C-alpha cells in the first residue's frame, strides 16, 4: 500500500481509489457461488491494473490460495507476497525456463506437446504443472486429439480450458466447449479440472461446470460478469481528476485538437489534469460524430468537450452547479459504471482497467 500526504496528493493529476474491502467481498461472493470448487484469482496484468502488491494480500486475507498470472515476472511478484500460495503461469513455459520455475515453486500452464516434453525432461518427478487444452479459442493449449500423444508418465496437477464467449448467455460455442472439455477429462481421468472465468461462474450450468476450481478475474475487480443484466459485483475502482482551469466561451467555438467539437451555447469548459497517457482512452473524445465519455462534476453528469489530449481532458460543465477550480470530476465509478464507461469508449472494462496509468495518486481503501 502506497502512502500519501495531502500535499503530494495534489501534485498528481488523477486520483484512483481502489476499494480492497469490496474486492475481498467480491472474492467471497464468487467463492460461495462456486463452492465446493476452489476459487482461485486471475491477477495477471498487475491485477488488471489495480496493483498486485495491494490486491494479492487482500485476496489472501479473504481466503484465496491459488493465483493465475500471465508472465513469469508477475509470478515473482506474487511469490514475494504469498510464500505458500499455488501460482500458475498462464503463458506457459518459456524455452529453458524449467529451473526458474522450480526455484520459486511456480507451476507453468503447459500449452503444447513441446512444452510438456521440455518440462518432463528438466523437472523432478511429479513436479506440478497445469495442462491447457484448447476447446475453441485457438490460442494456447493442446488440441483435443493431441491429448492421445501425451507421454504416459505425464500427470498434470490441473487440466484447464478457457471460454470464448461466456459473457454472452446462450452462445452455442459455450455448450460445444463444455462438451469438448468433458470429453477431454475422460481422456485424462482423475486430474483436477478448471473451466470457468468470471462470466462462466454466472452460466446456468454452473453446478456442472465449476469442476474443481474456478478462475475469476474481471468480476473480482468490479466488472459486470453478466453484461446487459444488473452487475452482481461490488464496485472496486473510482477514477477522479481535479479541474485545473475553467474558461467561459461563446457559442460556436471549437474545443480541443482538430476542432472536432463546438459549443452550441455560451459554455463553461473545465480542463482536468488527466488524459490518454493516464489510460483514459482517446476513443472517449467527443466529436461531431461521436458522443464520447462523461464526467460527474458536483453531482451533475457532464459531456466531454472535444478530443482527449495526452495529459488533459476538457469537459462541458455549463450545467454543473458552483464549479470551482480544484473541484473533482469523476470519470469512472458511481453513476459512471465501469462497463458503461467502457461502452462509451468503444472497448470493454478489461481494457479500461488494464490501461489505468501510473501517474494517478493511488488510494487503497482497506477494511
| Residues facing 69 on adjacent strands | 89
Site for ligand PLP in 179-208 (CB under 6 A): 197-198
Residue 109 or 315: which CB sits closer to ligand PLP?
109
Residue 140 or 305: which CB sits closer to ligand PLP?
140
Kindly state the smallest distance separating residue 68's Cβ from ligand PLP, in Å: 6
Residue 48 or 119: which CB sits closer to ligand PLP?
48
* CA–CA separation, 39 and 27 (whole Å): 8
* CA–CA separation, 55 and 160 (whole Å): 24
Q: Judging by DSSP bridges, how do beta strands 41-42 and 66-69 pair with one another?
A: parallel
Using the contact rule CB under 6 A, the part of the chain among 27-35, 210-218, 233-241, 276-284 near ligand PLP is: 210-218
**216 belongs to the binding site for ligand PLP (CB under 6 A):** yes
Residue in 21, 152, 218, 257 annotated catalytic: 257
Kindly state the smallest distance separating residue 336's Cβ from ligand PLP, in Å: 21
199 contacts 225 by C-beta, under 8 angstroms: yes
245 contacts 27 by C-beta, under 8 angstroms: no
Would you call 257 a catalytic residue per the annotation?
A: yes
Would the CA dihedral through 346, 49, 76, 87 be positive or negative? negative
Kindly state the smallest distance separating residue 197's Cβ from ligand PLP, in Å: 3
**141 belongs to the binding site for ligand PLP (CB under 6 A):** no
* CA–CA separation, 214 and 42 (whole Å): 10
Kindly state the smallest distance separating residue 109's Cβ from ligand PLP, in Å: 7
Would you call 44 a catalytic residue per the annotation?
A: yes
Residue in 44, 218, 280, 350 annotated catalytic: 44
* CA–CA separation, 60 and 24 (whole Å): 9
Q: Quick one: angle between helices 52-62 and 20-34, nearest 10?
A: 50
**90 belongs to the binding site for ligand PLP (CB under 6 A):** yes
* CA–CA separation, 155 and 9 (whole Å): 52
Cell digits of residue 70: 500471465
Site for ligand PLP in 144-163 (CB under 6 A): 162
Residue 31 or 312: which CB sits closer to ligand PLP?
31
SS3 state at 325: coil
Kindly state the smallest distance separating residue 71's Cβ from ligand PLP, in Å: 12
Residue 39 or 197: which CB sits closer to ligand PLP?
197
Q: Residue 173, preceding bond cis, omega within 30 degrees?
A: no
Kindly state the smallest distance separating residue 44's Cβ from ligand PLP, in Å: 6
**42 belongs to the binding site for ligand PLP (CB under 6 A):** yes
Residue 217 or 293: which CB sits closer to ligand PLP?
217
**218 belongs to the binding site for ligand PLP (CB under 6 A):** yes
How remote is the C-alpha of 11 from its chain's centroid? 27
User: Integer distance in angstroms from the first to the last C-alpha of the chain?
Assistant: 13
Interface residues toward ligand PLP, by CB under 6 A: 42, 44, 90, 162, 197-198, 215-218
* Residues with catalytic function: 44, 257
Amino acid at each position: 500500500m502506497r502512502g500519501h500526504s495531502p500535499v503530494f496528493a495534489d501534485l498528481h493529476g488523477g486520483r484512483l481509489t481502489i476499494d480492497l474491502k469490496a474486492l475481498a467481498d467480491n472474492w467471497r461472493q464468487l467463492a460461495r457461488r462456486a463452492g465446493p470448487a476452489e476459487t482461485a484469482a486471475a491477477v495477471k496484468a498487475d491485477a488488471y491494473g489495480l496493483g498486485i502488491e495491494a490486491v494479492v494480500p487482500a485476496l489472501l486475507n479473504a481466503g484465496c490460495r491459488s493465483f493465475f498470472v500471465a508472465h513469469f515476472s508477475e509470478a515473482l511478484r506474487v511469490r514475494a507476497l504469498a510464500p505458500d500460495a499455488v501460482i500458475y503461469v498462464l503463458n506457459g513455459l518459456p524455452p529453458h525456463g524449467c529451473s526458474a520455475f522450480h526455484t520459486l515453486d511456480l507451476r507453468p500452464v503447459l500449452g503444447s506437446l513441446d512444452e510438456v516434453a521440455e518440462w518432463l525432461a528438466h523437472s523432478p518427478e511429479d513436479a506440478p504443472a497445469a495442462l491447457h487444452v484448447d476447446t475453441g479459442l485457438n490460442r494456447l493449449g493442446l488440441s483435443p486429439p493431441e491429448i492421445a500423444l501425451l507421454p504416459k508418465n505425464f500427470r498434470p496437477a490441473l487440466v484447464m480450458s478457457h471460454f470464448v464467449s461466456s459473457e454472452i448467455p446462450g452462445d452455442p460455442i459455450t455448450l460445444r466447449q463444455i462438451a469438448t472439455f468433458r470429453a477431454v477429462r475422460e481422456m485424462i481421468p482423475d486430474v483436477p479440472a478448471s473451466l470457468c472465468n468470471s462470466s462462466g461462474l454466472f452460466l446456468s450450468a454452473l453446478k456442472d461446470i465449476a469442476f474443481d476450481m474456478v478462475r475469476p478475474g474481471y468480476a473480482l475487480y468490479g466488472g459486470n460478469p453478466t453484461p446487459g443484466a444488473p452487475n452482481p459485483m461490488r464496485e472496486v475502482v473510482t477514477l477522479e481528476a481535479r479541474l485545473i482551469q475553467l474558461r467561459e466561451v461563446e457559442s460556436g467555438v471549437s474545443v480541443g485538437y482538430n476542432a472536432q467539437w463546438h459549443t452550441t451555447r455560451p459554455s463553461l469548459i473545465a480542463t482536468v489534469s488527466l488524459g490518454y497517457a493516464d489510460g483514459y482512452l482517446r476513443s472517449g473524445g467527443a466529436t461531431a460524430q461521436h458522443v464520447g465519455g462523461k464526467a460527474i462534476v458536483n453531482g451533475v453528469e457532464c459531456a466531454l468537450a472535444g478530443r482527449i489530449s495526452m495529459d488533459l481532458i476538457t469537459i462541458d460543465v455549463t450545467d454543473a452547479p458552483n464549479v470551482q477550480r480544484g473541484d473533482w470530476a469523476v470519470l469512472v465509478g458511481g453513476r459512471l459504471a465501469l462497463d458503461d464507461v467502457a461502452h462509451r469508449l468503444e472497448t470493454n472494462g478489461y481494457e479500461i482497467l488494464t490501461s489505468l496509468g501510473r501517474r494517478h495518486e493511488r488510494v487503497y481503501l482497506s477494511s
